[in-house]
Amino acid sequence: MCGIVAYVGEKNAYEILIKGLKRLEYRGYDSAGVAMISNNHEFLHYKCKGKVSNLEEHVGQQSVDAHIGIGHTRWATHGPANDVNAHPHLSGNEELALIHNGIIENYDVLKKELTSRGHNFVSDTDTEVLVHLIEEVKKQEDVGLFEAVRLALHQVTGAYAIVVIDKSNPRELIAAKKSSPLVIGMGEDDFFIGSDATPIVEYTNNVVYLEDGEIAHISLDTGLKIRKLDNKVITPTIQELQIQLEALEKGGYEHFMLKEIFEQPKTIKDCMRGRISAQKGHVSLGGILDYQDKILNARRMIIIACGTSWHAGLVGEYLLEDLARIPVEVEYASEFRYRNPVIYEDDVVLAISQSGETADTLAAIKLAKEKGATILGICNVVGSTISRETHAGSYTHAGPEIGVASTKAFTAQVTVLSLLALMLAKRKGTVEKSRLNRLLFELESIPDKVTEALKTDAACELISEIYKNSSNALYLGRGYSFPVALEGALKLKEISYIHAEGYPAAEMKHGPIALIDEEMPVFVVATKGPSYEKVISNIQEVKARKGKVIVISTKGDEYIKEMADHYIEIPETEEMFMPILATIPFQLLSYHMAVMRGCNVDQPRNLAKAVTVE
Ligand code: F6R
């Protein structure tokens, strides 16, 4: 949520900031802006509503010669997306410029106090209040920028990642963080800052992740110095980035989402690499191995997540209960954190998050930690806050996911959950050895079956052409396919803006059936498995009411072809691995419908990739 980039060194700051903002645009794209300090100590300050490309147009051919600057791409929280509310914001005396990701919760109180001291505000944002506060503290206490930021942050409640510059000092950046991520890149003789590593990776692999409550003083004269808010000195730990630059490019695809959908055979393979060998009867998740007995002796497992990751959590519940016979509850992190849940010390909480930065998931983790539970994580972004806040965990290794709609992260999450359930089942002996081995072989074959499932692309495109103008859609599935129905509906609504609902197929007759008429496309997962016959009955119920049925079926199922208006065939697999395969056509259908409707699939309206505000 909101992208932050900053630079100080000898290079052209404007080029680095614009390139960085383009890489970060998936985090927010309501407006964008930059502030740089010119060689004669003036701010070069440009900002406007819309995308980074609008900002570039706005700057036009003006020569922007600066070696220090800050840039921001916004996802609006306080105040609408317009030129004035875009970051960076300047202090009242126009000496300081600041960019911010997060929410200052007490901004209203601070604003009233500062207004009574003569400050005037031009925007509706909480961020502008913060830069005025720093200006006020700097003046009142007669201190330098670092100290002013440190003292000002003592008065602030909420979440922030900020970078501040002072136009009288073009060799210094001050950055601070609480509950919103910030990474510092260490160049040869320059420094970079990003809200994630994507704008940095092109220049350096050496990074320092700022921790909550830390302030960084970055100076071309004295280097990087970090202190806590209480002034305690922190020794920075430099880590090496693993991201490849190509992973941040579209690689010939029209959209990141399409590229990421087609990457799935590889990402699932990467996710399983070294963790499974059916030949040897081996399955293990190194990061969680030491916690196996803790999980098996736990009272229950609570899975917490949001959005698509929550859907993966539901598949996880089915897998863990089915294979390892562990009681599992799946909770929306945003509900869990506020509903005073009962958490025992012998609970194991498993947080699932692609970004590893989702504010609600983080808050839920902190709550469960306070109550003494063991916290495990499944994250995609290496080094993310959630991966550092948990006691142990496993990465999904899907590589950077840039398209805002989650695709490859979902299938990788389900793959990790499958490995986890199989590892625990093996340890606990809840699955007979021969069956366990069959399941291991089947899971190993899934990347090839995903390649097969991707061949439905042309069929998905044809079907999308027919239904692209629908106003509503229903997605149905039973058992393991119920979360797939939820995920299919979420994908469609978030990128094509067609209203869609996911339902357990049998629940349809308890209400949603009233919606069905000849205008209503109903997407049904009806693959071969224990609930096949039941789903057939549900399809008949839809047909009887003239609904249009689009079926995801097992390859070679002639019977269902007769019944459905359209069918999309995917390879046969064990029911428990079907979510990985059945979700592929749903991803493709929503992609094509969104493109045909002229929607921006990679950056759908009102959304952002990492939801770092609650
Ligand atoms: C949907 C989507 C979101 C995320 C949700 C959680 O396509 O991407 O629903 O799944 O915001 O994000 P993470 O997994 O980063 O915690």
CATH classification of the domain holding 367 = 3.40.50.10490
pLDDT band (50, 70, 90) for residue 129: very high
Question: Is 47 known to be catalytic?
Answer: no
Query: Do 352 and 227 belong together in one domain?
Result: no
Query: Do 177 and 282 belong together in one domain?
Result: no
610 falls within a domain: no
Give per-residue pLDDT as tens, 533-576: 999 999 999 999 999 999 999 999 999 999 999 999 999 999 99
Given 241, 269, 304, the domain boundary residue is 241
Query: Do 581 and 483 belong together in one domain?
Result: yes
Query: Do 229 and 286 belong together in one domain?
Result: no
Query: Do 545 and 417 belong together in one domain?
Result: yes
- pLDDT of 122 over the 80 cut: yes
Q: Which of 111, 178, 408, 609 is catalytic?
A: 609
Total domains present in the chain: 2
CATH number at residue 54: 3.60.20.10
603 falls within a domain: no
Query: Do 405 and 361 belong together in one domain?
Result: yes
Pocket of ligand 1 contains residue 308 by CB under 6 Å: yes
Atom of ligand 1 nearest to the CA of 407: 7
pLDDT band (50, 70, 90) for residue 399: very high
Given 201, 218, 241, the domain boundary residue is 241
Query: Do 172 and 260 belong together in one domain?
Result: no
Given 241, 266, 283, the domain boundary residue is 241
Ligand 1 geometric centre to CA of 305 (Å): 8
77 falls within a domain: yes
- pLDDT of 383 over the 90 cut: no
Alpha carbon nearest to ligand 1 atom 16, residue: 353
Report the 3 state secondary structure along 267-303.
HHHHHHCCCEECCCCEECCHHHHCCHHHHHCCCEEEE
**Global confidence as pTM:** 0.86
- pLDDT of 311 over the 80 cut: yes
Question: What local confidence, expressed as pLDDT, does residue 505 receive?
Answer: 93
Q: Sheet holding 300-305: strands in order across? A: 328-332, 300-305, 347-353, 374-379, 392-395
Query: Do 226 and 366 belong together in one domain?
Result: no
349 falls within a domain: yes
d(CA 214, CA 194): 15
Pocket of ligand 1 contains residue 405 by CB under 6 Å: yes
Alpha carbon nearest to ligand 1 atom 4, residue: 307
Query: Do 228 and 283 belong together in one domain?
Result: no
What integer is the mean pLDDT of 9-19?
A: 96
Query: Do 202 and 290 belong together in one domain?
Result: no
Atom of ligand 1 nearest to the CA of 405: 7
Burial of 173 (0-12, 13-18, 19+ CB in 10 A): buried
Query: Do 160 and 226 belong together in one domain?
Result: yes
248 falls within a domain: no
Pocket of ligand 1 contains residue 406 by CB under 6 Å: yes
Domain range for residue 191? Answer: 3-241
Query: Do 492 and 527 belong together in one domain?
Result: yes
284 falls within a domain: yes
608 falls within a domain: no
361 falls within a domain: yes
Q: Which of 2, 48, 379, 599 is catalytic?
A: 2
Question: Is 609 known to be catalytic?
Answer: yes
Q: Which runs of consecutive H residues, i.e. helices, occur in 280-400?
A: 286-289, 292-296, 307-324, 333-336, 359-370, 385-389
